[in-house]
């Protein structure tokens, strides 16, 4: 955290800095017209955030008192840029020690004198929330005289009537606690701790304020690289544009989110986002003595690149570190009609459905040549979409999550059976005990280079953008390093392993003299129709 000359994580002392335009005079008092704010924020932000009622100040103050009026002054660079940002959604992310969490606490202060302000800061767990509450108790009482913290509700109530909730949001279902609530400002601390974008997207629906209030509608987040949500956060904020540049918010396909057909603003982009990177060196209170930097330099490479350099292309604890874009990603080419093709899918309505298509070369290299990654799609509609894209090709077989054959009471055909009736045929995937670990190990083998062909045993068309982005971001399960973290966005991975386990691959020269056959066999006869 930043903004402190007392400690890395706390606010600066009351005499942290001199207000601009005031010269120190010993033993004298002078009149002052006003002090703009107890928290000094960038001018750009004050100009765009609407009118803010000023906290009453005595007409006469001495210069030492004037010095103490600046409770928090952002560091030049990323911290200042974050507080000045006017985009609806902003991520302040990167290396450890960049002053991110303290900035998130300081940002709402400017609105606490507005009686219409309703704000919310969330962490993933209650234990993590205590850290933010502790920091807020250092800042808010000094910034807003008379503000009170309601311990039971974890809520700050300002004399103006403005409120700031500090809460946790662990599971996706926890968003229902905020159903019917309205906030003008919402902050997420350590955004990559949320495995999916569900909570972030839902809470956007809680942004609401009247025009009369003069309040902007903002969502703010901080995060380091890594964590279960690394993939979706990177895809949402980092990949669409260069750092520090505004861009229109994009959907899962990377296209701007626009007003719908029939609306008076049809086709116009909805709102803007921005990613503001930060490093340790942006925080002079931590970087000056070099000790914190030394601690980060001592970390293993993955952690060092994440926490010291803020590298979003590195995911600590990645399940598949052998994946390399230069090795495993190829440009699309015309696949010969003689090469066997099959597909595999993991279905989910409320989350995502993932479908991947494989082609098998003569030397048993697998080519993932197509993907489909969609949400809120019925199983029957997904079947239609699949059949449409593969209408001109022969698919030998399909393998689908076996749970889709389960029926819930007397509800008619299962989801799998509904898809099969449509003509989209499947076989159930192997979900027996140990199959998850076996599938993971098979992907590891496939990512290796074959000793004979000197080619990787699996490659991906560059057009499979979601697969390429998701695969290196999947973290290991901290409690079971033999498996991936199932709370991460792993839908494409599940589809991949379902498909891989239908064609387990050994080296071409794994020869079995006993039965006079090579170590791999075509699976078409087993899984065909």
d(CA 75, CA 284): 8
* CA–CA distance, 353 with 172 (Å, rounded to integer): 18
CA distance 437 to 302: 24
Percent of the chain with pLDDT over 70: 73
The residue that leads in pLDDT, 131 or 525, is 131
Give the confidence band of 410 by pLDDT, cuts at 50, 70, 90. Answer: low
Q: Taking 60 as the threshold, does the pLDDT of residue 8 lie above it? A: no
Least confident of 186-200, 405-419, 447-461, 494-508: 494-508
Q: What's the rounded Cα separation, in Å, for the pair 369 and 415?
A: 26
Rounded CA-CA distance 527/123 in Å is 46
Residue 124: both structure tokens together: 């993933």
Residue 227, pLDDT score: 77
Q: How far is CA 384 from the centre of its chain?
A: 31
With a cut of 60, say whether residue 381 has pLDDT above it.
yes
Contact 489, 195 (CB under 8 A): yes
pLDDT at 32 over 90: no
CATH code, 325-527: 3.30.420.280
Q: Of the candidates 299, 302, 300, 281, which has an alpha carbon nearest to the alpha carbon of residue 290? A: 281
Query: For the chain, how big is the Rg over CA atoms in Å?
Result: 28
CB 284, CB 246: distance < 8 Å: no
**Residue given tokens 């767990």 in the structure block:** 125
Instruction: Give every CB contact of residue 450 below 8 A, 6+ residues apart in sequence.
Output: 363, 365, 456, 457, 507, 508
Could you report the per-residue pLDDT of 230-256, keeping only the tens digit for each? 878 988 998 888 889 999 999 877 789
Q: Which one, of 37, 41, 81, 51, lies nearest residue 220 by Cα?
A: 81
Q: Are 166 and 185 in contact (CB under 8 A)?
A: no
Nearest of 371, 233, 201, 236 to residue 315 by alpha carbon? 233
Q: What is 78-307's CATH number?
A: 3.40.50.300
Domain parsing of the chain, residue ranges: 78-307, 325-527
pTM for the predicted model, two decimal places:
0.56
């Amino acid at each position: 955290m930043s903004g402190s000359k007392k400690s890395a994580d706390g606010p600066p002392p009351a005499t942290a800095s001199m207000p601009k335009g005031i010269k120190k005079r010993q033993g004298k008092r002078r009149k002052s017209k006003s002090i703009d704010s107890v928290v000094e924020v960038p001018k750009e932000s004050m100009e765009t955030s609407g009118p803010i009622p000023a906290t009453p100040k005595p007409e006469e103050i001495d210069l030492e008192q004037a010095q103490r009026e600046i409770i928090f002054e952002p560091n030049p660079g990323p911290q200042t840029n974050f507080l000045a940002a006017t985009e609806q959604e902003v991520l302040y992310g990167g290396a450890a020690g960049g002053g991110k969490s303290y900035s998130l606490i300081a940002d709402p202060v400017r609105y606490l004198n507005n009686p219409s302000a309703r704000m919310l800061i969330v962490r993933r767990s209650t234990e993590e929330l205590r850290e933010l509450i502790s920091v807020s108790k250092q800042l808010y009482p000094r910034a807003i005289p008379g503000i009170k913290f309601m311990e039971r509700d974890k809520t700050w109530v300002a004399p103006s009537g403005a409120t700031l909730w500090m809460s946790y949001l662990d599971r996706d279902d926890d968003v229902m606690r905020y159903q019917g609530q309205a906030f003008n400002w919402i902050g997420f601390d350590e955004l990559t701790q949320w495995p999916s974008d569900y909570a972030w997207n839902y809470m956007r629906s809680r942004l609401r304020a009247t025009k009369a209030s003069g309040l902007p509608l903002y969502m703010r987040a901080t995060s380091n690289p890594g964590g279960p949500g690394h993939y979706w956060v990177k895809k949402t904020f980092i990949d669409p544009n260069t750092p520090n540049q505004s861009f229109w918010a994009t959907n899962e396909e990377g296209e701007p989110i626009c007003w719908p057909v029939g609306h008076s603003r049809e086709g116009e982009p909805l709102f803007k986002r921005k990613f503001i990177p930060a490093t340790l060196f942006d925080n002079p209170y931590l970087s000056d003595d070099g000790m914190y930097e030394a601690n980060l330099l001592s970390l293993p490479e993955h952690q060092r690149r994440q926490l010291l350099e803020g590298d979003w292309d590195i995911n600590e604890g990645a399940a598949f570190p052998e994946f390399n874009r230069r090795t495993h990603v190829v440009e699309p080419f015309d696949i010969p009609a003689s090469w066997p093709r099959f597909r595999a899918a993991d279905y989910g309505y409320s989350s995502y459905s993932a479908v991947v298509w494989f082609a098998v070369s003569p030397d048993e290299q697998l080519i993932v040549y197509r993907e489909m990654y969609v949400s809120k799609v019925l199983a029957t509609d997904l079947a239609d979409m699949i059949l449409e894209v593969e209408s001109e090709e022969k698919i030998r077989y399909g393998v689908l999550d076996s749970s889709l054959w389960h029926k819930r009471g007397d509800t008619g055909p299962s989801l799998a059976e509904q898809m099969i009736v449509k003509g989209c045929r499947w076989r159930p995937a192997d979900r027996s005990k140990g199959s998850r670990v076996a599938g993971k190990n098979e992907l590891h083998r496939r990512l290796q280079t074959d000793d004979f062909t000197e080619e990787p045993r699996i490659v991906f068309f560059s057009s499979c953008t979601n697969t390429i982005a998701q695969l290196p971001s999947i973290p290991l399960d901290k409690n079971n390093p033999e498996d991936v973290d199932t709370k991460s966005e792993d839908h494409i991975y599940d589809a991949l392993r379902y498909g891989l386990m239908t064609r387990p691959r050994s080296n071409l020269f794994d020869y079995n003299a006993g039965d006079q056959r090579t170590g791999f066999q075509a699976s078409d006869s087993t899984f065909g129709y």
